[in-house]
Structure 1
Amino acid sequence: MSAIAPATVLEGDFWPEPVRVLTVQMLGRRTKIEAVGTKTQQFYSGIFSEADLGRLRISTDAHRDFRGRAECFFLATEAHRVRFAQQFDPLFAVNTSQVDSLPHQIEAVYHYILRNPCIRFLLADDPGAGKTIMTGLLLKELKYRGLVRRTLIVVPGHLKDQWLREMKERFGETLTVMDRNVMNATWGRNVWQEQAHVITSMDFAKQDDVMATLGEVRWDLAVVDEAHKMAAYRYGDKTKKTERYRFGELLSRISHFLLFLTATPHRGDPENFRLFLDLLEPGMFANTDLLLESVQNRDNPLFLRRLKEDLRDFEQRPLFPPRHVFTKPYRLNDEEKRLYNAVTEYVETSYNKALASEKRNVAFALLILQRRMASSVRAIRRSLERRKSRLEELLSLGQWLADGGRLDEDELEDAPEAERLRQEEDLVERLTAAETREELQSEIQTLGELIRLARDAEHHEVETKLNELRKVISAEKLRETAEKLLIFTESRETLEYLVEKLAAWGYAVVKLHGGMNLDARIRSEHEFREKAQVMVSTEAGGEGINLQFCALMVNYDIPWNPNRLEQRMGRVHRYGQQKEVHVYNLVASDTREGKVLEALFHKLERIQEALGTDRVFDVIGEILPGRSLKDLIVEAIAHRRTLEEIVAEIEAVPNEEAVQKAREAALEALATRHIDLQRILGEDRRARENRLVPEYIERFFERTCRFIGMAIEKRRDGLWRVPSVPYALRNVSQEFKHRYGEVFHDYNKLAFDKQTARREGAVFIAPGHPLLETVIERVLNDCAQDVRRGAVFADTDGHLDGWLWFLEGELRDGANQIAGKRLFALFQARGSKELRLVNSSVLWDLKPISDTTEAAPCPAEDEVIAFAVEQVLETYRAEILELRQRDAAIKQKYGVRSLEQMSLESDAKLI
C-alpha cells in the first residue's frame, strides 16, 4: 500500500481503533508502522508483511471536504466542550455536586491534593471540617478526568451508612457494600474484582482470608477514614505492627492514589506518625528528625491539617460558634443507692474472679452490665432479667459458657450499633465466671435479689437522674422557647423509658437508634427538624446524622470511650450551627464511675480555660499518659485502687503539663493556620465567569435530545421531564457505568441549577450525570464523520470569514500518563496564514449552513498544529512543569536524605 504515509488514518484488525500514522519505514520486504489511536491517543508500533498490509484500510471518511452536517458538527463540538468542563471551571466538582463548599475544603482539594501528580495524601483536619465532602469532591474530579475507574473506601463499620448516604445525595455516587455476607454468598469468586466502587469496613478487610482476595485486585483510588487506627509502634530497634497497619501496607501496594482521613494522626508520638506516613510514601522519612524538619519548614507534601478555630466561611465568620459543656452532678436516692451498691459488688466480685481465671470475655460482659447500671434503673433491671433467664436455661441444659472464644474489642467497638448491641447482649446473657453447678445456682440466686432491688427502685415515683433532666429542661426554658433538645443514651431500654416520660410531660418526641435502617433514620431526622421538639438517640445519632438545627444536648449517660462523647457533640456542634451550643453531662457523684468522671470533667474545664478551646474531650488519653477513661473507671469498679487514689492521679497532673499535652495531642504544630481566602475568592469568581453555566447545559441538552429523537418535556413548574429513555441510550457499557453510573428508564423531575434541584427535590443534571453523558456519547458516535469532514457556518455579523480549527491538546509525562489536556479554537482568515485564539464557544454565534454543495479547499494542518503547540500548549506545559518540579524538589529533599540515612544504618548493622 504505497499510499500509506504520515497523517494517513488506517483501520484494521491489528488495532482496537482507527490510527493516525506517525512514521513508515521499510525493513526489507516488511513495513514498520508507528501510529497513534485517534480516540485514545495510545501509541502503536508493528511490523507488517505484504499480506498484512493488504488487510489494512485507509479511512475513507478522513478527507476534510466541509460537507458534514453542520448541526451534527455543532452538537459534537459542544459535546467535546462539555467533556472538557473542568478546563473552563477551576471548581468543577463544587459546581456539579449538591454541596456548598467552604474555603478550607476548596483549598484542600484544589490547592493541595490535586496538585500532586500521584496522590498519596493525609487529610487531618479537626472533626466537623467536612472530610467526607472533600473526599467526594476529589473523587468526582478524578473520575471526570478519567483518572479513576475503580474506588475502594474503607471506613469504621458504624460509619458505612453515613458514607453511603453522603456520597449518593451529594455527589450521585453509588457504592457497593462489601462484607462477610457478600463474600459468603459469592464463594469461589473474587467479588472485589467484580465491583468498581466499593465500601467496606476496616475490621472486616483486615482479616487474613479477606486480605488474600483483596490483594489480587488493583484500585485507582483508595480512601481510608479514621486512618490513624492503622497504627505501628517503635520499641527500641523493633517495630510492632497492628493487624490494621498490615492491612494499610497491603492497601498501599494495591492502590495508585491513596487518601487517608483522620482528625488524630499521631497523638503526640512522632515515631508513630512517621510509620503512619510510611504507608503513603514508604521511605520518605527515614527518621523523626527529617519528619519534624519538614513540619517546621511547612513543606511536607504528604499531609494537611487545619484546626477548627481557624476555619472561616467566605464572609470570614468562624464556622463554629462557642460550645459550653456543663457537668450536672446528682446523688442517688436510697433505693437507687442500695441497687447500685449491690450490682457493683456483684460485678466487682465476678470481674476479679474472671480475670484471675483469664476469662477476659466474661470480664468484658460484666463491665457491660455495669454500664447498664449507670444508664438507668430500667436498663439494668431488664439486662438482669434476661441474664437470669438465660443462665437458668443453660443450667437446665448443663451447657453454661465460661468464656466463649476470642473477642476483638476494637472490632466490636467499631461495629454498627445494631450489631454491637446484639453481641453485647449475647455476652451479658450467657457468659459467667461460675465454674460449677453450685456456683451458677448461687449466681442465679444473686441475680434474683438484684432484680428485686431494681423493681423496688423503679417503684420510686421519679428516678433521680430523670428529675435532673427535668431541671435542665426547666433551666433552659424549653417549653417557653420551643428550642429543640437532643438526648443521648447508650441503652435502648433507657431510650424507650425517656421517650415514654417525655411524651407524658407533653413534649413531641422522636427516637433514633441503630436498629433502624437508613431510610427510617433519615425520616426521624426530618421529623425532628420539622415537627418534634425532642429527640432521644442512642450512639447511632452520633454516626452520620447532622442535627445542627439543635443547640441543646444532654448526655443522659456518659460513654467510657471519650471519642464517642466528642462524636455526640459533633452532631450539633458543626458547620451550619447558628447558636451557641449547650451540652449537659449528667453524673451520679456518689458512684464509683461518677466520682472518676466528675474529677476528670473538672480537670478538663481548667485545661479548656487555659487552652481557649473546647478541644479537650478527645485527648483524655494524652492528658493522662498511658491511661484511658475506661482504664480509670474499671479500676474504680474492680476496686484495684481506691477512688481517692484514682482521683488523686487525675488531680496530680499539673495544669501546665496537661495543657501542653493537650496542645501536642491536638497537633497544633502540624496545623496550617492560614487559608488564602483571596485566592479562593478569585478562583470562585473565575469559575462563575468561565464555567459552562446551567443555562448553557440546559440549552445544549434540549437541542441534543431533539436531534437524537429522545422526547423531553417542559413541566408547568419549569422543570423538565424525560418520559422514556430509549433502550439504546440505556444500554451502556460497564466502563460507562463505572465512570458515570446507571441510566434509568425515565426521569420525572430534572433541573440544571443545583439550588433549584435541591429545593424541588429534582435530579440535578450537570457534566458527569449519566443521562447527560449517554446523550453526549450518542452524539459523538453519530456525528464522528461529520466532525472529521468539517462543516460550513455563516457569521451573520460578518466578522468571521475563513476557517475555524477546534483542537484537543494533550500533554503526557515520562510514564506516558496524561499530565493535562486542553480544548481550544483557532481562527484563520481566508487568504491568510495568520492564526489567533478565539473562544471555543464561537459556534453558538454562527448559523449552520445545511445546503452547501461546493467543497472548500482545506488549508494545510502543519502550520496550525505548530502554532497550537508553540503558542498554546507550550505555556500550559510550562505551568505543569513548574508544579511537577516543585513537588519533585520537595520529595527529593527528604527522600534522598532518607535513603542516605537508611544506607548508613544498614552499613552500621553490617559492621
Structure 2
Amino acid sequence: NWEELEEYEDDERERIEELLEAISLTGKAEQVREEIAELLELAENARAVQNTGTEAKLHHLRKILRDKGFFDRPDQRLLVFTEFRDTLDYLTEQLEKWGFNVGCIHGSMKPGSRDEPGSRLFVEQQFREGAIQVLVATEAAGEGINLQCCHILFNYDIPWNPNRLEQRMGRIHRYGQRKDCLIFNFVATNTIEGRVLDRLLRKLQEIRDALDDDAVFNVIGEILPSAHIERVLRDYYAGSLGDDDLEERLLKNVDEKHFRDICQTALEGLATKKLNLDLLNERRARAQERRVIPETIARFLKESAQDADLSLKPVRNRDHTFDPGRTPQSLKKYEFDEDWQFPDLALRYPRLSTDRQTADDNNLEWLHPGHPLFEALRRFAFDAGQDAFAKGACFYSLTHEVPSRLDFYQARIVDGLGKIIHERLFTVELSEDNPPILRGPSVLGDMTPANVPEQLPPVADLAEDSGWVQQNVLIPFVDEVRKERVAEVERISEHVEISLTEVLHRIDLEIGRANEDVENKIIGAEGRLAKAERRHEDAFARRARRQEELEQQRSMTLQGVRRLASVLVLPHPDREASDVRRLRPHPETEMTAMRVVMEHEKALGRQVKDVHKKNLGYDITSRDPISGELRLIEIKGLANPTGSILLTPNERRVAEDRRDCFWLYVVTNCATDPELQEPIKDPARFPWHEVTEVQHYWLDVESLTHE
C-alpha cells in the first residue's frame, strides 16, 4: 500500500522499494524463465546504450545548463532530484566530470551535524555556504530541509506520488525565497506512463496560469491521492485497463473547476474563523516594539565573545556582520546542559550577521535569540556575572533626589508538560519613604556607574517587600501569560478536534468499503479491513493523547522566582551644577508635555500607551490602527518658549537603533500655554552635545525647528 509506504523513514522506504522492484509478480516457473530472458535482453540493450556514451536526459541536462549560463556562474546553485540511488551516483560522477563541485543526499546517510562530514546536515550546510554548487538528492532531501538558497531545480525522475513532487518543489519554493524558481521536469514521452505524466504536468501548469496561483501544486494531493494512482496503475499493469483508460482515469479530475473549488473551500474555511484584525495589528505592533534589534545583538555579541575567547572579525563595509573563529570549549560545554533545547554548536560557524535582511540577501548565517551560538553566549555571560550579581553595584542617577535600591528578579512560568513557556526579568525600586515601584530592566541605561561608598545609606539594608512583589509583579505576570496561553490552546484544540475527527471519518468510510469487499469475498479485503481498523484505533488514541497534552499545556505554575542582584542608586553629585541643573527635566513640566502629546495622538485616532515608567528609552507608543504604523515617542517639555533638552544614554541609544520608528515630540511653554512643536522623526541624526560629567546629551530646540 503506497500510503503506508510513505509513512516510513526515507532510508527504510528506499530499501523497501528496492526489494519490491526485485520481486516477480508471477509464481509459474515458465513465466519466471521468460521474464529472466527478457530482463537479460533489456540489460544487454542498456549496456549498449551506456557504451555509446550518450544518454538523452543527461544530454538535455547539460544543454539546459549551458543555455542558462550555469557553467559560467559558480555562485549559482542547482538542486537535482532523482528517484534512484544508482542514478544519483551516476549523476554525481557526470556532473563532477563537467567541473562542478557536487554533493549528494540519500536515505542511507544519517542526519549528523554540520560538523560531521558525510552527514545530511553537513552536506546541506556546504550547499548553503557555496562549497557545493550542485546537490543531487533522492527523496531524503524532499522533506524537512530548507534549501531556498537555491532557486533552480531539476526533477531528473518524476515520482508518481504527487505529494513527493510538491515536497521537492517546497525545498526551494517557500516563504523567504527572493528569486523566481525555475523547475525542470524530465519526462520520457515515448512510454504510455511518460505521456500521461507529461499531460498531467502540462495540465497543472495550464491551471496554474489560469488561476494565477502556485497553490495548484500544493493541493494536487487532494485531486490525485496517491492511493488512487496506486489502484489505477495496478489495474493497468494487470491488464484491466488500456492505454486510453489509464489516461482518462488519472486525468479526468485534473481541471480548473476542481482546483478552483478546493481553493474556494479553503477560503470559505478561513472566512468562518474568528479573525480579530485589531488583535493581529496590536500583536504586530507589539512584536515590532519588543523585537531584539541587530544593533543590540551585535553589541552583546562583541562584549560577550571577548570574555568567552570567541574570535570575531568584523566584516568591512557590512554592518553587524562577523567572521567567527573556532567555537571555544567555554561555549561548547553548554550543549550538555539538561535544559539545552537547541542544536549542538558547530565547531566553526560561517560568516554571520545579526541583521536578518543582510543575512538573507547575502546567504549568511543569521544570529538571533534561539540560535545555538547566541544562546551559549547568553548562558556564558550569565554565569560569568554571578560573582558581580552577588556583590551588587552602585550607580548615579540624575533624576533621583534620595538614595534608592533596585532589586532584579527572575521568574518563569512552566506548563504541565514541564516546558518553560515564558521567562521574565523584573526590576523593583525600593526607597525609605515611598512605596515600591516596578521599573523596566533597562533602567540602568539612564544612569552612570559609581564606586560603592564606604558608608551605605539605610536603603541598602531595607527588607524585601515580598508581599508587594507577589501582588503587583508575579500575579499579574501569571495572569497575562495564562490569558494568552489559554486562548492559544483553545485555538489549537479546536483545530485538532476538527482535523482528527475528519481523519476518523475517512477511516470509517474505508472500513465500510472493506467490509463490503469482505462480504463479496474480494481477495485481500480482510487484510485491508484489519489495517483500517488498526489505523482507526491509532487515530483515536492519538486524538485522546493530543487532548491530554493540550490539557497539560493549559496548566501553568510559577517557578524559579529569585532575586538575582541588587543595585544601589545615589543622586548624582553633579546634579546641582549650573550647567547640569538647567538641563535637568522638571517633573511637572514633563507631565504637562506628556498630557499634551497623548491628547494630540488620540485626537488623530491613534492607539496610545503610556510606558514612561518602564525605562524603555521612550515615553509612549502610538499606533495607527489602520496602517499599523508604530511610533516610539520620546517626549520633552520646556517651561519656556525655547531652551535645551536632554537625552539620557538609554534614550540616545534607542534613538540610534530604532531610526525607523523613533520620534521626538517637544512641547514648549508648558508653564503657561503649552505648544507642541513639529514632531521629529529620527532625532539621532542631529548633532547632540555630550555632557561628559553625567554622560547625557543635550541640544537646543532651535536646532530641531530650523533643520
TM-score (structure 2 length as normaliser)? 0.51
Runs of 5+ in structure 1 lacking a partner?
A: 1-407, 706-710, 897-911
Q: Distance in 2 between matches of 1:750 and 1:510?
A: 19
Q: Could you tell me whether the CA contact under 8 Å between 1:794 and 1:846 is conserved in 2?
A: yes
Following superposition, the deviation at residue 492 of structure 1 comes to: 2.7
Q: Could you tell me whether the CA contact under 8 Å between 1:572 and 1:581 is conserved in 2?
A: yes
Matched, 1:799 2:395: no
Q: 1:856 aligns with which of 432, 447, 458?
A: 458
- Pair 852,613 (structure 1): closer, same or farther in 2 beyond 3 Å: same
- Pair 455,564 (structure 1): closer, same or farther in 2 beyond 3 Å: same
Q: 1:658 aligns with which of 241, 258, 279?
A: 258
Matched, 1:432 2:38: no
Partner of 2:182: 582
Matched, 1:554 2:158: no
Matched, 1:489 2:82: yes
Counterpart secondary structure, 2:404 = strand
Matched, 1:833 2:429: no
Q: Distance in 2 between matches of 1:894 and 1:567?
A: 23
Q: Distance in 2 between matches of 1:464 and 1:559?
A: 19
Q: 1:738 aligns with which of 326, 329, 339?
A: 339
Following superposition, the deviation at residue 850 of structure 1 comes to: 5.1
Q: 2:201 aligns with which of 601, 607, 619?
A: 601
Partner of 1:444: 36
Following superposition, the deviation at residue 641 of structure 1 comes to: 0.8
Spell out, residue by residue over 1:570-629, the C-alpha distance to the aligned partner (whole angstroms, 9 max, x if none): 222234433322222222233121132133234323432343212233533432579633
Partner of 1:182: none
Q: Distance in 2 between matches of 1:542 and 1:460?
A: 32
- Pair 608,449 (structure 1): closer, same or farther in 2 beyond 3 Å: same
Between Structure 1 and Structure 2, how many residues are aligned?
468
Matched, 1:613 2:217: no
Q: Distance in 2 between matches of 1:533 and 1:550?
A: 9
Residue 584 of structure 1 aligns to which amino acid in structure 2?
Answer: F
Matched, 1:453 2:59: no
Residue 153 of structure 2 aligns to which amino acid in structure 1?
Answer: M
Q: Could you tell me whether the CA contact under 8 Å between 1:810 and 1:822 is conserved in 2?
A: yes
Q: 1:686 aligns with which of 290, 297, 300?
A: 290
Higher RCO (C-alpha under 8 Å, 6+ residues apart) = 1
- Pair 663,872 (structure 1): closer, same or farther in 2 beyond 3 Å: same
Q: Distance in 1 between matches of 2:439 and 2:477?
A: 17
Following superposition, the deviation at residue 644 of structure 1 comes to: 1.0
Q: Distance in 1 between matches of 2:170 and 2:37?
A: 44
Spell out, residue by residue over 1:780-810, the C-alpha distance to the aligned partner (whole angstroms, 9 max, x if none): 5x678x57xxx67363758353231416486
Q: Could you tell me whether the CA contact under 8 Å between 1:608 and 1:616 is conserved in 2?
A: yes
Q: Bigger CA drift: 650-659 or 488-497?
A: 650-659
- Pair 664,590 (structure 1): closer, same or farther in 2 beyond 3 Å: farther
Runs of 5+ in structure 2 lacking a partner?
A: 112-116, 315-321, 498-707
Q: Distance in 1 between matches of 2:449 and 2:375?
A: 29
- Pair 737,698 (structure 1): closer, same or farther in 2 beyond 3 Å: farther
Spell out, residue by residue over 1:198-240, the C-alpha distance to the aligned partner (whole angstroms, 9 max, x if none): xxxxxxxxxxxxxxxxxxxxxxxxxxxxxxxxxxxxxxxxxxx
Q: Distance in 2 between matches of 1:524 and 1:631?
A: 36
Counterpart secondary structure, 1:583 = strand
Q: Distance in 1 between matches of 2:37 and 2:79?
A: 39
Q: Could you tell me whether the CA contact under 8 Å between 2:410 and 2:425 is conserved in 1?
A: yes
Partner of 2:375: 769
Residue 799 of structure 1 aligns to which amino acid in structure 2?
Answer: H
Q: Distance in 2 between matches of 1:414 and 1:447?
A: 31
Residue 856 of structure 1 aligns to which amino acid in structure 2?
Answer: P
- Pair 588,776 (structure 1): closer, same or farther in 2 beyond 3 Å: closer
Following superposition, the deviation at residue 456 of structure 1 comes to: 4.1
Q: Distance in 2 between matches of 1:752 and 1:501?
A: 34
- Pair 659,433 (structure 1): closer, same or farther in 2 beyond 3 Å: closer
Spell out, residue by residue over 1:373-392, the C-alpha distance to the aligned partner (whole angstroms, 9 max, x if none): xxxxxxxxxxxxxxxxxxxx
Q: Could you tell me whether the CA contact under 8 Å between 1:596 and 1:647 is conserved in 2?
A: yes
Residue 803 of structure 1 aligns to which amino acid in structure 2?
Answer: S
Spell out, residue by residue over 1:156-178, the C-alpha distance to the aligned partner (whole angstroms, 9 max, x if none): xxxxxxxxxxxxxxxxxxxxxxx
Q: Distance in 1 between matches of 2:492 and 2:142?
A: 39
Q: Could you tell me whether the CA contact under 8 Å between 1:593 and 1:637 is conserved in 2?
A: no
Counterpart secondary structure, 1:773 = helix
Residue 454 of structure 1 aligns to which amino acid in structure 2?
Answer: A
Spell out, residue by residue over 1:326-358, the C-alpha distance to the aligned partner (whole angstroms, 9 max, x if none): xxxxxxxxxxxxxxxxxxxxxxxxxxxxxxxxx
Q: Distance in 2 between matches of 1:716 and 1:626?
A: 52
Counterpart secondary structure, 2:80 = strand
- Pair 752,860 (structure 1): closer, same or farther in 2 beyond 3 Å: farther
CA RMSD of aligned residues (A): 5.5
TM-score (structure 1 length as normaliser)? 0.41
Partner of 1:422: 15
Spell out, residue by residue over 1:287-311, the C-alpha distance to the aligned partner (whole angstroms, 9 max, x if none): xxxxxxxxxxxxxxxxxxxxxxxxx
- Pair 891,447 (structure 1): closer, same or farther in 2 beyond 3 Å: closer
Following superposition, the deviation at residue 640 of structure 1 comes to: 1.7
Following superposition, the deviation at residue 466 of structure 1 comes to: 3.9
Residue 454 of structure 2 aligns to which amino acid in structure 1?
Answer: T
